[in-house]
Amino acid sequence: VVELYDNGANDTIQIFSVSGRHIVGTKLGHGDWDSAGVSFPEDMNTQVLTPENGFSNNAVYVGDNLNGIGDNLPFSAVAPYNQFTYNGMNIGYSGDGNPSNLNEYLTIDEVTEDLIVLIVGAGVFSAKAKWDYIPSSSGGNVTPISISTQELAQQSLEQINTAITYKDTIRAHLGAMQNRLENTATNLQIQTENLQAAESRISDTDMAHEMTALVKGQILAQGATAMLAQANTLPRMALELIQG
């Protein structure tokens, strides 16, 4: 379960495959994408679907799986939310929230391929995720068994094979969770860098505005001084002509 709280900024959950297929979220042209400077598939390919964000090297944007999800779905804050299926995964999505619905929810019953979770918007959100499945060590236990006969030895091998298979399943599950956490951490870092860059641009703009106001004030002051000097010169010139 992924839960997003957007603090009224209308940030949205977006789910992609590593190849660039857009599975859950809002379509290009939506306000959250526009605010991030991503308006066309070319923008998506160059700015979002990059190896640095966890996508494959040849990832290309494909949005035909959305079918209006997020844009047209009625908002639902109660599980199982709006349900649909993709590649064997049953996905529940609350729909795109808005300033009156600060939370968005996403559930996936079983992940059948690597997915990338992105949060798009102003970057002031908080998010949390939890997994319903917690691996247990009980499935990998090997009970003591005699190998005094060929039949018993064969049975022990079957137990060992079962334990190895279970161990591999747990490792795959933990590896998938670790990959998702690493991708989430990377995405959060990128969001932080983007926010810092935006703040820097705003500061530069403010500085330019103040410098412009300063120069304008200096020009006006110099102009006023020149006009005053000229005004003082004219009476003196008239007096000199009269005296001459």
Give kind and range of the element (H or E) at residue 83: strand 82-86
State the pLDDT at residue 70. Answer: 45
Mean pLDDT of 58-66: 86
Q: What is the pLDDT of residues 86-126, one digit of tens each?
A: 888 888 887 775 656 667 777 887 778 888 888 887 666 66
Beta carbons within 10 angstroms of residue 102's beta carbon: 17
Work out the mean pLDDT of the chain and round it to a whole number. Answer: 77
Q: 32-58, pLDDT tens digit by residue? A: 788 788 889 999 999 999 988 889 999
Residue position matching structure tokens 């002051």: 221
Beta bridge partners of 83: 92
Give the pLDDT score at 68: 45
Instruction: Summarize pLDDT for 115-170 with one digit per residue, the tens.
Output: 888 888 766 666 666 666 555 555 556 566 677 788 877 878 888 888 888 888 88
* Residues β-bridged to residue 117: 15
Q: Decide if pLDDT at 8 tops 70.
A: no
pLDDT of 79 strictly over 70: no
């820097």: which residue's tokens?
A: 200
pLDDT band at 66 (very low <50, low <70, confident <90, very high): confident
The number of helix segments (H) and strand segments (E) in the chain equals: 3, 8
Q: What is the DSSP string of 182-233?
A: HHHHHHHHHHHHHHHHHHHHHHHHHHHHHHHHHHHHHHHHHHHHHHHHHHHH
User: Could you write out the DSSP letters of every residue in 51-73?
Assistant: GGGT--TT---B-TT-TTTTTTS
pTM, 2 dp: 0.50
- d(CA 207, CA 187) in angstroms, rounded, equals 30
6-10, 94-98, 178-182, 228-232 — most confident range = 178-182
Long-range CB contacts for residues 161-164, cutoff 8 Å, separation at least 24: 163/139
CB 105 within 8 A of CB 95: no
Question: Which SS3 state, helix, strand or coil, does residue 241 take?
Answer: helix
Nearest C-alpha neighbor of 75 from the set 38, 101, 49: 101
Give per-residue pLDDT as tens, 201-214: 888 888 888 888 88
CA separation for the pair 101, 31 (Å, rounded): 16
**pLDDT interval class at 7 (50, 70, 90):** low
Q: Supply φ then ψ for residue 11, to 5 degrees.
A: -65, 155
Containing 22, the helix (H) or strand (E) segment is: strand 22-24
Question: What does the pLDDT average to over 193-198?
Answer: 82
**Predicted local distance difference test score (pLDDT) of residue 20:** 93
Half-sphere exposure of residue 184, counting CA atoms within 13 Å on the CB side?
A: 15
- And the tokens for 125? 């959100």
Q: Give the C-alpha separation, 161 to 139, whole Å.
A: 12
